[in-house]
């Protein structure tokens, strides 16, 4: 093996290590977030700030992320970069598809419950205990939303459609119902607008990562269009890391950093829009949508990073051959 081949192998291992290290750090950060909020496990910095040895658990997970990234980069160094990109993209597609099914189910069920609360239909169907329970966000979120969330992920596993079309159709139907009930029957309630905003937020934030995969985001092509293919691949590689990954990491760190963080706080408190039970109990989920957006975009940017590296290598090889 000559020096060029050794250097090429080193570059492949480093590039693959960098991409998978970001993915593994994301996984560990989210696990530590759950451990800290649900099981009171102190964060890693408490080992140095408060001499709390329980912080060794999150620290050990970060070392595990480092080791697993190194293991992947060594074991699969002969795989093309497209292999990494495809693995990450396929997982992202499943995750996004499952999220779409989840909000479709939760939105449909929650708007029905909100209608029964407002029109007092629940009093005719359920006993007093359940009627009162359905007015409590903590009960609805724990015993109705969470099971529907898991059911959405089960449906996402057995289906192959992303669900963009179905959700967009449901948004149109929801808007149409608002128009008809407002102008024909002079009837409108806040939960009707809540449902549209809920599905709109999911549609745009969840679809963003897949739009990146299809290269459908708006971009300024004044300089990019005239670049060589090799240069375009290099620009995409650097841009995906310096602009895309860094932005997503900032959102994730700010949104999930502690109990009072902008994403954690609404989720922990089952935050809702209204002070009275006249709307849907979904505001806390819309805060979580921002986290889903950042996570899926980060995964897709790293997939895009591997795709761009593959394109750069292929065009560089063609230039040398010609």
pLDDT of residue 209: 92
Structure confidence at residue 322 (pLDDT): 67
Hey, is 5 helix, strand or coil?
helix
Which residues, at least 6 apart from 198, have a Cβ–Cβ distance to it below 8 Å?
103, 107, 280, 282, 285, 286
Model-level pTM greater than 0.75?
yes
SS3 for 33?
A: helix
Whether 248 contacts 294, CB under 8 Å: yes
- Neighbour tally for 318: CB within 10 Å: 11
**Could you tell me if 145 and 163 are in contact, meaning their C-beta atoms sit under 8 angstroms apart?**
no
Reduced to 3 DSSP states, what percent helix, strand and coil does the chain have, rounded to the nearest 5?
80, 0, 20
Spatial neighbors of 43 by CB under 8 A, at least 6 apart, are: 32, 36, 55, 58
Give pLDDT tens digits along the chain (322 positions): 567 777 888 899 999 999 999 999 999 999 999 999 999 999 888 888 888 888 999 999 999 999 999 999 999 988 999 999 999 999 999 999 999 999 999 999 999 999 998 888 888 889 999 999 998 888 999 999 999 999 999 999 998 887 778 888 889 999 999 999 999 988 888 889 999 999 999 999 999 998 888 877 777 677 777 888 888 899 999 999 999 999 999 999 999 998 999 999 999 988 876 555 578 888 899 999 999 999 999 999 999 999 999 998 887 777 777 6
d(CA 243, CA 252): 15
The model's pLDDT over 159-186, given as tens digits with 9 standing for 90+, comes to 888 777 888 888 999 999 999 999 998 8
Whole-number pLDDT of residue 94: 95
DSSP assignment string, 153-186: HHHHHH----SHHHHHHHHHHHHHHHHHHHHTS-
pLDDT (0 to 100) of residue 225: 79
Q: Given CA atoms 243, 255, 155, 39 in this order, what sign does their dihedral have? A: positive
Q: Please state, as a whole number, how many other Cβ atoms lie within 10 Å of the Cβ of residue 12.
A: 19
Q: Are 110 and 197 in contact (CB under 8 A)?
A: no
Q: Are 140 and 110 in contact (CB under 8 A)?
A: yes
Q: Is 226 helix (H, G, I), strand (E, B) or coil?
A: helix
- pLDDT in the model for residue 221: 72
What is the C-alpha to C-alpha distance for residues 41 and 136, in angstroms, rounded to an integer?
A: 29
Number of neighbours of residue 161 by Cβ within 10 angstroms? 11
């Amino acid at each position: 093996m000559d020096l060029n081949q050794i250097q090429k192998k080193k570059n492949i291992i480093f590039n693959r290590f960098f991409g998978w290290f970001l993915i593994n750090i994301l996984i560990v950060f989210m696990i530590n977030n759950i451990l800290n909020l649900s099981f009171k496990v102190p964060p890693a910095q408490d080992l140095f700030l408060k001499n709390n040895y329980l912080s060794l658990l999150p620290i050990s997970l970060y070392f595990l992320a480092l080791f697993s990234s190194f293991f992947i980069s060594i074991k699969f160094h002969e795989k093309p970069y497209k292999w990494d990109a495809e693995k990450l993209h396929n997982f992202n597609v499943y995750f996004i598809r499952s999220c779409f099914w989840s909000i479709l189910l939760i939105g449909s069920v929650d708007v029905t419950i909100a209608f029964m609360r407002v029109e007092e239909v629940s009093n005719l169907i359920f006993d007093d205990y359940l009627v009162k329970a359905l007015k409590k966000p903590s009960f609805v979120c724990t015993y109705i939303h969470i099971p529907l969330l898991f059911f959405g992920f089960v449906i996402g596993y057995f289906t192959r459609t992303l669900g963009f079309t179905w959700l967009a159709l449901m948004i149109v139907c929801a808007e149409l119902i608002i128009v008809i009930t407002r102008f024909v029957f002079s009837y409108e309630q806040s939960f009707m607008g809540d449902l549209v905003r809920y599905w709109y937020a999911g549609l745009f934030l969840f679809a963003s990562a897949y739009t990146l995969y299809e290269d459908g985001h708006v971009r300024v092509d004044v300089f990019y269009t005239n670049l060589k293919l090799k240069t375009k691949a290099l620009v995409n590689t650097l841009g995906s890391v310096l602009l895309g990954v860094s932005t997503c990491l900032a959102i994730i760190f700010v949104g999930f950093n502690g109990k009072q963080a902008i994403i954690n706080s609404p989720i922990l408190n089952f935050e809702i829009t209204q002070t009275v039970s006249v709307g849907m109990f979904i505001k806390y989920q819309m805060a979580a949508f921002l986290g889903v957006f950042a996570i899926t975009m980060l995964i897709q940017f790293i997939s895009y990073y591997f795709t761009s590296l593959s394109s750069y290598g292929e065009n560089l090889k063609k230039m040398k051959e010609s």
